Chains A and B, each alone.
Chain A
Amino acid sequence: MITIYFFYGLAFFSLGLAASLQLRHDGDLPLRKQIPWLAAFGIAYAISAWLDMFQTYGTDPELNQVINLLRMILQPISGLLLLIFGWGVLTKILPLPGWTHLIPGLLIVPVAFVIAYASTTFITPSPIEIPIDIWSRYLLYLPGSFMAGIGFLRQWHEQKKRGYSEVARLMLATGIAFLFEAFVVGLVVPAAPYGPASYYNYNRTVYDAFTGDQAVSDKPFGLVNWLDYDRVLETTGLPIQFWRMLSAIAVTALVVTGLDVFDALRKRQMQQLQNERDRAQQSAITAQTAARQTAENWTDALISISRRIAELNDVDDILLHIVDNGRNLLQSNFMGLALLNGALPDLELKCFANDNQIGIVNSPIKIKNPLILDTLLYSKSYCSSADDPAHSLEELCFFVEQSARAAAIVSLNLDDKPIGALWIARYEEGAYSETDLIWLECLADQVVIAIQHGLMTSQLQSFSIIEERGRIAREMHDGLAQVLGYLNLQIQTLETLLKRGKQDALRLELEQMRQAVQLAHADVRENILSLRTTLANEKGLISAIDEYLNEFGIQTQIDTHFENEVNGSLNLASLAEVQLVCILQEALTNVRKHAQANVVNVRIAQKQNGHQCEYLLMEVIDNGVGFVTNENGKRSFGLQTMHERALAVGGELSVRSNPGNGTRIMCRFPCLSEEKLRRRNQVLQS
């Protein structure tokens, strides 16, 4: 028996020790928070069991009294610790359903009766350690173990629902182990002359509980009579301490394993969460990359459209470019653009893009789709949804057989007035997003800008023609008309001289007329040359200047030389190139008209600053009569114009001349920076 008591205590001590060791591990499991109570219970109960062992062994009576006292104190304390552990396992690990709030209230009455009854047994003649033992078990160990058992069974149910069958089985085993402990530790008590044990053991009750008289009854009142130590020994052949030891070993092994499994489970869940977070991050990065790529595509497309508008491309080409790009970027099967031909509902398809072709529609196709007409009527945007009837999306796609299953439509507004509609459509289901609609509105703005720009360009071209006509008229009035007027007068003079027979005077007048006609002819030819000289991109500025100088030399019989010291590009802005040519033409006109030169040199060079071009220098040098430059800053009209042209592009112009020593005109134009040059080249290349 001593050996059994030793191992009995050792089993519970192992339970306490194992639970204590589990506390050293990290973790924040709810079950772990209850483990200190289990550890304390195990150790307290083990000490109590070992005290039993010493009592059984037989010691000094005084020491025996001390041991007995300690045991009476330890037993309810250990029971209380188990009760706290059981309550924690039952309520703190998983939240209890709402109806369970009723249980404490309903239990007040039976618990009060049991406690009241238990308190009456302490005044019976039996030794006080017996009621302490019995009621510690009934009121503390039994509910503590029972609640822990139920708590673990709830865990079993929960883990089974989550699909963790391995953990669920472990929880089931732990729950059963605690219920077994509830039975062997909480329900099997020493035989005593009072209940509930006494009810089961009336046949062994030897005296009345309160008076100490002989037993008043031997009837068990229909209840079983075996739940005491003797009956367990008699029935199983093993003392109750053995069964309790067995329950302690089972509880120890299962709780410790359970904690490990919970830890592993938690780690696995953490790993899963980490993996999910990584996947989410990866998805976010992918989405961001895709969004950035989309934004870049859109930016490129909008820049491309803007460049075409700025380069005064044909409006139809621009519109085709827009619908083609828009269809690709918005991942649609069709994109259409329709313009009002007069007033609503006279809407005609202008251009389109589908999976196979893009094109401008020349023969009028009326748009009849009510969604497009409504969008135009109310000047709003529209995005189809899954609830839209299929027939409302008919006649949205042209030159294809499929019908649209999703569409987005925006109206084109010029000065707050609708001028047409732009729409996209898909053959498959999948509504367009708000973002898609915003992008479509951007494209609609570009369409409107392109149309507006086209209109403005036409107007500007008209203005330019009118201006050019005016200029030519002025030139003719100032040049050819004057000469012709002069010739008319001279012809009258010639008639008079002829009538008077003044042959010498007549000859002189004729010579003057011939010179005047030659001058007029030179002016006209120069004007024609100027009108013909253009800065064609395919030729380049240097070639244009070279050709112009050759032609000028032929026409004027002035020996022209062109020295080009620039290798490669001139690195000038387009406007600066235009001004450069205009200054050169003006300078050569002055040479022809006023300088009386027979040689003119034109030199173009670049001033380098390291690898970077600082400015472009152009010199026009003649060997003519020269003139006196005005020190007060007053210049002739031609020189003033040249000066202003140079200033307009950030350059400068200077004139050096002395009578009899020819004239030297120098102008300096700033070169483009590398960054601006690179961007210009990109635009030109694209």
Chain B
Amino acid sequence: MNVREWALPVYTILMQVAVGSMLGLWLIRTVAIQQYGRFVTDRIIRIPILAVLLTVTAAIIGSHFHLSHPVFSLLATLNLRSSWLSREVLFTISFFTTIGSLSYLHWFTAGYPHLKTGLGWLAIALGLLSVYSMSKIYLLPTHSSWNSPLTVISFILTAVILGATAVAVLLLMDLKVWEEVAEQTETAVREQLIRQSFVWLAGGALVTAVINLILNLILILHLSQGDLSAQISFSLLLGLYQPLFGLRYIALFTGVGWFSLTALILFRNAKTQHEIITPIYLSCLLVLISEILGRFLFYATHVRTGI
């Protein structure tokens, strides 16, 4: 792989991070509004929403390195009827626009609560459609290692697991940035929100990681029993790329496990929110490395047959 090829993992992973973060963030917001009120909750998620916007922006910029003629990238939207790529581009741009609008509303207005809620769910829907379109691109009959519903499911699962860990990091960043200037009561709400939500985020990440492993084992089984190209992919995965395959799952379960343990310790008040920043950041880093390696393996092990 070279720079042009690495642009694909950059784009797909960042989009999945953004969509997953938005999903996790909006679920937390929905619950938190009932408990702490709309005003405080919306103030708490301002920085995370901005971070999602920056992530989508980086993803879109990164995607252009994959193109021969970046300036003509919008032409890719002309084939909506037949091309999943066109749909992916459309949904990505829509997701970006919606997140941009949401960021504006959160940073520069105090009202429009229903509009914010609606735009948030719309953004999640558009993001998930973008990820779905992204995965559908790879369902090609000529690529037996990709051409499976498992690809779609694994793309969605990746978004969920990356979102869960990224939201944890974003909430801690928000706490750290505002703690010196925010009112004490608001900081207390932030800390309480982190303690309650991290257990659910970690639980979700752990379950998703297990499902992901099972799906990968099914895929390996499928490849081992498939046609020649599948066999070659199988041999590449467990041959040349075996260390990376092992490293990917070691990093995944170390990250998710560490995240779960830290969330549990926090929930039992054995440590403060400030004491768990480094473990959570490192957990997120490990999960992200794992998913990047997974995406690398996804691209590196494919073998094309036919035309």
Give CA–CA (A209, B10) in the complex, Å: 19
Of the listed residues B2, B6, B173, the one surrounded by the most CB atoms of chain A closer than 10 A to its CB is B2
Inter-chain contacts of A270 with B (CB < 8 A):
none
A463–B42 alpha-carbon span in the complex (Å): 92
Q: How far is the CB of A194 from chain B (nearest CB, A)?
A: 9
Question: Does the CB pair A108–B281 fall under 8 Å?
Answer: yes
Complex partner residue of A108 from B6, B240, B288, B293, CB under 8 angstroms: B288
B9 CB contacts on chain A under 8 angstroms: 113
> A111 near B: Cβ within 8 Å?
yes
Tell me the complex Cα distance, A210–B49, Å: 39
- Min C-beta distance of B196 to chain A, whole Å: 21
* Contact among A116, A123, A199, A216 with B241 in the assembled complex (CB-CB below 8 Å): A123
CA gap between A221 and B247 in the complex, in Å? 30
Q: Is A24 engaged at the interface, CB distance under 8 Å to the other chain?
A: no
A187 to chain B, nearest CB (A): 18
In Å, the complex CA distance between A120 and B58 comes to 23
A87–chain B nearest beta-carbon distance, Å: 12
Chain A, residue nearest B243 (CB): A123
For residue A221, which residues in chain B have a CB less than 8 angstroms away from its CB? 3
Known: A105-B169, A105-B170, A109-B288. Is A116-B177 also a contact (CB below 8 A)?
no
CB under 8 Å from chain B, chain A span 76-102: 98-99, 101-102
Most buried by A among B9, B17, B292: B292
Are B289 and A98 in contact, CB atoms less than 8 angstroms apart?
Answer: no
- With A108-B288, A210-B1 in contact, is A98–B180 under 8 Å at CB? yes
Bound together, the chains give a CA A120 to CA B243 distance in angstroms of 9
Chain A positions within 8 Å of B289 at CB level: 112, 115-116, 119
B285 touches A111 (CB 8 A): yes
Partner of B285, one of A108, A122, A123, A209: A108
Establish whether residues A104 and B292, one from each chain, have CB atoms under 8 Å apart when the complex forms.
no
The A-contacting residues of B in range 285-303, CB under 8 angstroms, are 285, 288-289, 292-293, 296, 300
Beta-carbon contact of B173 and A101 below 8 Å: yes
Q: Which residues of B contact A120 (CB under 8 A)?
A: 1, 244, 293, 296
**Is B201 among interface residues, defined by CB-CB distance under 8 A?**
no
Q: Do the beta carbons of A102 and B281 come within 8 Å of each other?
A: no
Nearest Cβ distance between residue A128 and chain B, in whole angstroms? 11
Task: Count how many pairs of residues, one from A and one from B, have CB atoms less than 8 Å apart in the complex.
Answer: 69
Q: Are B243 and A109 in contact (CB under 8 A)?
A: no
Q: How far is the CA of A105 from the CA of B3 in the complex (A)?
A: 24
Contact across chains for B176 and A101 when beta carbons are under 8 A apart:
yes
- Complex CA gap A135/B52 in Å reads 30
Which residue of B has the minimal Cβ distance to A199? B3
Chain B residues with Cβ below 8 Å from A113 are 6, 9-10, 13, 292
Our pick among A102, A109, A122, A217 for the contact of B173 (Cβ within 8 Å) is A102
- Indicate if A164 sits at the interface (CB-CB under 8 A): no
Interface size class of A (residues with CB under 8 A): 20 to 34
**Least Cβ–Cβ distance between A180 and chain B, in angstroms:** 28
Report chain B residues within 8 Å CB of A209.
Answer: 1
A399 at the binding interface (Cβ < 8 Å): no
Nearest CB of B to A83, in Å: 14
Whether A99 and B177, one on each chain, are in contact in the complex, defined by CB atoms closer than 8 angstroms, is yes
Chain A contacts of B212 at CB under 8 A? none
How many Å from the CB of B242 to the closest CB on chain A? 9
Q: Indicate if the CB atoms of B292 and A108 lie closer than 8 Å.
A: no
Q: Is B244 in contact with A216, judged by CB distance below 8 angstroms?
A: no
The residues of A that contact B169 with a CB separation of less than 8 Å are 105, 108
For residue B152, CB closer than 8 A to chain A, the reply is no
Residue among A111, A115, A221 having the largest count of chain B Cβ atoms under 10 Å: A115
A112 touches B281 (CB 8 A): no
The answer on a CB contact under 8 Å between B17 and A122 is no
B55 x A109 contact (CB < 8 A): yes
Question: Closest residue to B54 on the A side, CB-wise?
Answer: A106
Q: Which residue of B lies closest to A103 (CB)?
A: B173
- Contact check: which of B1, B170, B180, B288 meets A112 at CB < 8 Å? B288
Please give me the residue from chain B that is nearest to A99 by CB atom: B177
A486 touches B (CB below 8 Å): no
Q: CB of B172 within 8 A of chain A?
A: yes
A98 to B180, CA, bound (A): 8
Interface residue from B173, B176, B240 paired with A210 (Cβ < 8 Å):
B240
Name B164-193 residues within 8 Å CB distance of A.
169-170, 172-173, 176-177, 180-181
Q: Which residues of B contact A123 (CB under 8 A)?
A: 240-241, 243-244
Which of B17, B176, B285, B289 neighbours the largest number of chain A CB atoms within 10 Å of its CB? Answer: B289
Contact A109 B177, CB 8 Å, known A115-B289, A120-B296, A123-B241: no
How far, in angstroms, from A76 to B172 measured CA to CA in the complex? 30
Q: How far is the CB of A139 from chain B (nearest CB, A)?
A: 12
Roughly how many angstroms separate A659 CA and B73 CA in the complex, as a whole number?
154
Nearest CB in chain A to that of B300: its residue = A210
* B contact residues around A427 at 8 Å (CB): none
Known: A98-B177, A113-B292. A105 touches B285 (CB 8 A): no
Contacting residues, chain A, for B292 (C-beta < 8 A): 112-113, 116-117
Interface string of A194-208 (1 = CB under 8 A from B): 010001000000000
Chain A residue nearest to B17 in the complex (CB): A109
Are B247 and A216 in touch, CB under 8 angstroms?
Answer: no
Distance between Cα atoms of A111 and B292 in the complex (Å): 11
* Shortest distance between the CB of A414 and any CB in chain B (Å): 57
A108 to B54, CA, bound (A): 14
B284 within 8 A of A: yes
Within 8 A of A (CB), among B96-117: none
B263 within 8 A of A: no
Docked-complex contact B177 and A112, CB < 8 angstroms: no
| B14 proximal to A (CB < 8 A) | yes
Interfacial chain A residues near B173, Cβ < 8 Å = 101-102, 105
With A102-B177, A109-B14, A210-B1 as contacts: A117 and B284 at CB distance below 8 Å:
no
A135 to B1, CA, bound (A): 18
The CA of A22 and the CA of B97, in the complex, are separated in Å by 58
**B186 CB to nearest A CB, Å:** 16
Q: How far is the CA of A101 from the CA of B13 in the complex (A)?
A: 24
Query: Chain B nearest CB: distance from A105 CB in Å?
Result: 4
Chain A residues within an 8 Å CB radius of B10: 113
Cα-based distance from A20 to B17 in the complex (angstroms): 46
Contact yes or no, B172 A119, CB < 8 A: no
State the Cβ distance, A80 to closest chain B Cβ, in Å. 15
Residues 31-61 of B contacting A (Cβ, < 8 Å): 51, 54-55, 58
9 closest A-B pairs by beta carbon, nearest first, are A116-B292, A112-B288, A101-B176, A105-B173, A112-B289, A116-B289, A116-B293, A105-B169, A108-B285
Name 23 interchain pairs, CB-CB below 8 A, sorted by A: A99-B177, A105-B169, A105-B173, A105-B281, A106-B51, A109-B17, A109-B58, A111-B285, A112-B285, A112-B289, A112-B292, A115-B289, A119-B247, A120-B1, A120-B296, A122-B243, A123-B243, A195-B3, A199-B3, A209-B1, A210-B1, A210-B240, A217-B2
Given contacts A108-B284, A108-B285, A199-B3, 16 further A-B contacts (CB under 8 A): A99-B177, A101-B177, A105-B169, A105-B281, A108-B288, A109-B14, A112-B285, A113-B9, A116-B292, A119-B293, A120-B1, A123-B240, A123-B241, A123-B243, A210-B240, A216-B2
Task: Give the A-binding residues of B (Cβ under 8 A).
Answer: 1-3, 6, 9-10, 13-14, 17, 51, 54-55, 58, 169-170, 172-173, 176-177, 180-181, 240-241, 243-244, 247, 281, 284-285, 288-289, 292-293, 296, 300
Residues of A within 8 A of B (CB): 98-99, 101-102, 104-106, 108-109, 111-113, 115-117, 119-120, 122-123, 195, 199, 209-210, 216-217, 221
